Amino acid sequence: MDKKLMYPKKVISQLGAVDYYDKFIKDAAANKLFNTLKDTIDWLQFPITIFGKTYLQPRLIAFEGDPNIHYTYSKTRLKANKWSPEILQIKQACEQQTKNLYNCVLINYYRDGNDSMGWHSDDEKELGKYPSIASVSIGAERLIHFRLRNKHQDKTKILLKNGSLLHMLGPTQENWQHQIAKSKRVRTGRINLTFRFIQA
Ligand SMILES: O=C(O)CCC(=O)C(=O)O
């Protein structure tokens, strides 16, 4: 995929950097991709234990990447499935836009507004000190919230539109947390692809 480079909107520019690109993928292509991935990916759902009670995580996931890439997710060591051709094309477009390389993608499927992801940073050791994470959204629009780790009142949010790209880089993961909160208004699905580079 050869794409014209775009200019971002700056979501965060202190103690990290988060850039947002609207319409990174055109609507019709994003819609088609959403349906293909929803129907062809072997989705997994992991248990999560909160205050001693075990539930199923409120989202489905999958993991793809280069051969021999592993990722520890919810205490499970996942081996990357091989790249879906459609996802490989998007990875290449992200590499072109962000000028960083990615060797795997964590895919999250939020079936509706009841699915969510709590506050966290993508700061696993294997991502290195200043990870570049290219996060592509398709399907329903959802808000992503950011807050400073040591000063939760410092916060911001942005609506992640169908076909958008959010690029997190520099010390963002060291200083900021992010979440996708539940939303009663969202009744349709969203798939998010976070391209990462795992150091061997
Ligand atoms: O769904 C999103 O936009 C966020 C995903 C995320 O935070 C993650 O995969 O670590």
Mean pLDDT of 135-162: 98
Look at residue 74 in the predicted model and tell me its pLDDT.
78
Whether the CB of 106 sits within 6 Å of ligand 1: yes
Per-residue three-class SS string for the chain:
CCCCCCCCEEEECCCCEEEEECCCCCHHHHHHHHHHHHHHCCCECCEEEECCEEEECCCEEEEEECCCCEEEECCEEEECECCCHHHHHHHHHHHHHHCCCCCEEEEEEECCCCCCEEEECCCCHHHCCCCCEEEEEEECCEEEEEEECCEEEEEEEEEECCCEEEEEECCHHHHEEEEECCCCCCCCCEEEEEEECCCC
| 177 domain-assigned | yes
Q: Is residue 146 part of a domain?
A: yes
Query: Is it the case that residue 50 has pLDDT exceeding 90?
Result: no
104-114 average pLDDT score:
98
**In the predicted model, what is the mean pLDDT of the chain?**
96
Whether 141 maps to a domain, the answer reads: yes
**In a domain? residue 50:** no
* Domain housing 150: 17-43+57-66+89-196
Regarding the beta carbon of 178 and ligand 1, being less than 6 Å apart is answered yes
- Domains contained in the chain, number: 1
* Ligand 1 atom nearest 166 alpha carbon: 3
Regarding pTM above 0.85, the answer is yes
> Does 27 reside within a domain?
yes
Q: What is the mean pLDDT of residues 116-136?
A: 96
Structural domain includes residue 81: no
Q: Is 173 in the pocket of ligand 1 (CB under 6 A)?
A: no
Give the Å distance between the CA of 67 and the centre of ligand 1: 23
- How high is the pLDDT of residue 34? 98
Residue-level pLDDT at 1: 63
CATH number at residue 173: 2.60.120.590
Q: How far is the CA of 194 from the centre of ligand 1 (A)?
A: 7
pLDDT of residue 13: 95
For residue 192, report the distance from its CA to the centre of ligand 1, in Å: 7
